[in-house]
Structure 1
Amino acid sequence: MIALISAPTNLGLRPPLRGSVPGTDKAPEALREVGLFRELISQGARDAGIVLSGRYVDDDDTRADGHVRNEPAMVNHAQRLASRLTSVLDAGDIPLVIGGDCSVLLGIGMALSRRGGTGLVHVDGHTDFRHPGNSDKCASVAGEDLAAAVGLHWPAVADIDGLGPYFDRQRVVHIGHRADDEEATEARATLGLVISSASAIEKTPDEVGSASRDVASAGYWLQIDVDVLDASIMPAVDSPDPGGLNTSQLTALLAQLAPGAIGASVTVFDPDLDPDGRYARLVADVLLRGLSELGKDL
């Protein structure tokens, strides 16, 4: 049974403007409003509740060197999300985490690390591979989550409760970055498989899915950042970029990946950038069609 977990967090993002607050914490309720939860529950899913995050603070003027934005609140949220996920997995259910920004990958990784580890398929318009070893601008975990998940970030986020690295690098697949991604070369040299958006579009979904399953192995986690979609299709994200997948391509890719996943997470949709709800409906439609077989092959 799919168990829906709302994880409304914006802690890993930079402020849109000085002193302002990102809107990704509103995503679970915006998707609930357009019927995503209702439809999944009608198909047999259950609502496993909400893991609230702490208050977002624009701490650029007070944050010490060597720390990320909202670090204490983010670590606390990761710990509580990990606990909720552990309960869901222990019950034999398939978690579907509706974020929030992609700092939720920390708590997900912690829960899976406690269970002996899994592979990861990371579908994202960016590699999210910025870390202290390749940048002096580390601050926002939403652009650094994959690096943290494989142990390349400061221990405060990459080794919470001594559980890092959360994923084995050689069982990690990344799909969807654009040609100008600054960390793609390092990611390709570090991870098990890295596929750009252009390459994913050129190949068939079956080819991408098969290659991903070979690397991640059965029972991987599936992380989906909706900015993998082209900016013309999905502008309601903090960093929209051209050159991404269209909705049919993403839906077909998720349909290939979902059956072998132990769980999935969806991140970075920002309802503040979607005043009439059209993009919430688009996200819900992709998820309902692409994740309909989530966990069915396990």
Structure 2
Amino acid sequence: MTESSGRPLHDNYGPEARAAVERESELPTTGWEREVARGLELGLPAADSVVDRRIPTFSRGELPHFAGINTFLKAPFVEDVRTCGEYDVVVLGAPFDGGTTYRPGTRFGPQGIRKISALYGPYNFELGVDLRESITIADLGDVFTIPGNIEKTFDQISKAVGHVYSSGAFPVVLGGDHSIGYPTVRGVSEHLSGNLGIIHFDRHVDTQETDLDERMHTTPWFHATDIPNVPARNLVQIGIGGWQAPRPGVKIGRERGTTIMTVTDCVEMGIEAAAQRALDVAWDGAEAVWLSFDVDCLDAAFVPGTGWPEPGGFLPREVLKFIQLVAAQPLAGIEVVECSPPYDHAEITSLIATRVICDTLGCLVRAGHLPRSAGD
């Protein structure tokens, strides 16, 4: 393999780096060229003193990373939600923390994730994927949640997620506390003829029937697995452990037959084997699988901005490897929850939330599952 210049690659690359460099040389630049042309058309050509004539007067598109409107990855904001099916991936926020039982602030999660996502470009070195060249992404903004009313908010979220999923777009839901796991799954399940499996990353089981007399962020999977086509046997829970696992939830999981893997389980069996077990459980007889990622599955040192931080969780590289393996198979969509910017430090919790989403999309693209027409 040679570089695009025709110069042979030397032998000092590491194996992963060499493969990454080779893949980059094969990627198109059509999307980037289109973005530059659009920026010059809509944002006016730059001042005469600017040498790089690809730069517009007004920021349009990816650059500069510190400027622009806060959409996810600076994707276009689509106000007419009826057109969401024209895009491969659709991002929507669920700004709700009415289900929290300790630290609040996850209602600001969608904005925090969008803000730090401006730090990222569309290309990932190791994956050899450029999202701008592979898929179209739109940001629909946020679901109109109802502060102080959990059930009405659930209905709003189910309708929103169901609308996006039924359009053919891949939904990316920015939480919000984990109570939204129930309405997101409900919204997808209503549009399936078969069963829906769930791969759930968390330090907490979230399978109680109620908490503080309501359906809180500790209860989504009790109610989700009450849905006829979301059986508990297809719920796999990864990273559970510590001192924040209420016994009623453990009892429900045992009785219903959910699958739990602790951090130690995953590390000792190996991330590859753990991911394969998760896929086997979630996909057993299922038509589709939903990915629910709670940032508190990571060690508390890496996610200070969350409602129930718990030491002893995963390292970021372990989680990202897990995501790479899980997203080698098709997914119905993803939610990332429990990001609370008011408690964050240097936006590192929002950053890992963004990274999980980007890696999921990149791995689905690399495996041919996005755009969906490519994997159908």
Instruction: Identify the residue that residue 2 of structure 1 maps to in structure 2.
Output: 89
- Cα gap change, 1:93/1:38 in structure 2, threshold over 3 Å: closer, same or farther? farther
- The TM-score normalised by the length of structure 1 is 0.79
Tell me the equivalent position of 1:63: none
Q: Distance in 1 between matches of 2:229 and 2:96?
A: 20
Deviates more, 1:99-108 or 1:31-40: 31-40
Q: Which runs of 5+ in 1 are unaligned?
A: 17-21, 56-69, 152-163
1:236: Cα distance to partner? 1.3
TM-superposed deviation, 1:179 = 4.5
1: CA distance between counterparts of 2:121 and 2:111?
14
SS in structure 1 opposite 2:332?
strand
CA gap 1:5/1:232 in 2 versus in 1, 3 angstroms: same
1:235-286 alpha-carbon deviations (Å, 9 max, x no partner) = 2111111110010011111111224211010000100002532332233234
* 1:150-172 alpha-carbon deviations (Å, 9 max, x no partner): 23xxxxxxxxxxxx356211111
Equivalent residues in 2 for 1:1-298 (5 A)?
1-14=88-101, 16=103, 22-35=104-117, 39=121, 42=132, 44-55=136-147, 70=148, 73-116=149-192, 117-131=195-209, 137-139=212-214, 141-151=216-226, 164-165=227-228, 167-180=230-243, 181=245, 182=247, 183-184=249-250, 186-217=252-283, 219-258=288-327, 259-294=329-364, 296-297=368-369
- Matched residue pairs, number? 262
User: Is the alpha carbon distance of 1:285 and 1:191 closer, same or farther for their aligned partners in structure 2, counting shifts above 3 Å?
Assistant: same
Q: CA deviation at 1:214?
A: 1.4
Q: How far apart are 1:175 and its partner, in Å?
A: 1.0
Greater RCO between the two (CA within 8 Å, min separation 6)?
1
Structure 1 residues 189 and 140, CA gap change in structure 2 (3 angstroms):
closer
Q: What RMSD over aligned residues (CA atoms) do the two structures have, in Å?
A: 2.4
Is the CA contact 2:102–2:307 (under 8 Å) kept in the aligned structure 1? no
- 1:124 and 1:6 map into 2 onto residues whose CA distance is 20
Q: Report the Cα distance in structure 1 between the residues aligned to 2:182 and 2:169, rounded to whole angstroms.
A: 20
Counterpart code for 2:116: V
Partner of residue 67, structure 1? none
Deviates further, 233-242 or 85-94: 85-94
Q: Secondary structure at the match of 2:178?
A: coil
Moved more, 204-213 or 279-288: 279-288
Gaps of 5+ in 2: 1-87, 123-130, 370-374
* Aligned CA distance change for structure 1 residues 291 and 248 (closer, same or farther; 3 Å): farther
- On the 8 A contact 1:205/1:252 being kept in 2, the answer is yes
Determine helix, strand or coil for the equivalent of 1:120.
Answer: strand
Contact 2:295 2:349 in 1 (8 A): no
Residue 72 of structure 2: aligned partner: none
CA distance change for structure 1 residues 108 and 39 in 2, over 3 Å: closer, same or farther?
A: farther
Larger radius of gyration: 2
Name the CA distance, whole Å, in 1 between partners of 2:185 and 2:359: 26
- Cα offset, 1:84, TM superposition: 1.8
CA change 1:201–1:188 in 2 (3 A) is: farther
Q: Tell me: CA distance 1:285–1:190, structure 2 relative to 1, closer, same or farther (3 Å).
A: same
Q: Offset at 1:121?
A: 1.0
Per-residue deviation, residues 69-113 of structure 1 (Å, max 9, x unmatched): x4xx22212222222222222221111101111111122122123
> Normalising by the residue count of structure 2, what TM-score does the alignment of the two structures yield?
0.64
Is residue 275–residue 322 contact of structure 2 (8 Å, CA) maintained in 1?
A: yes
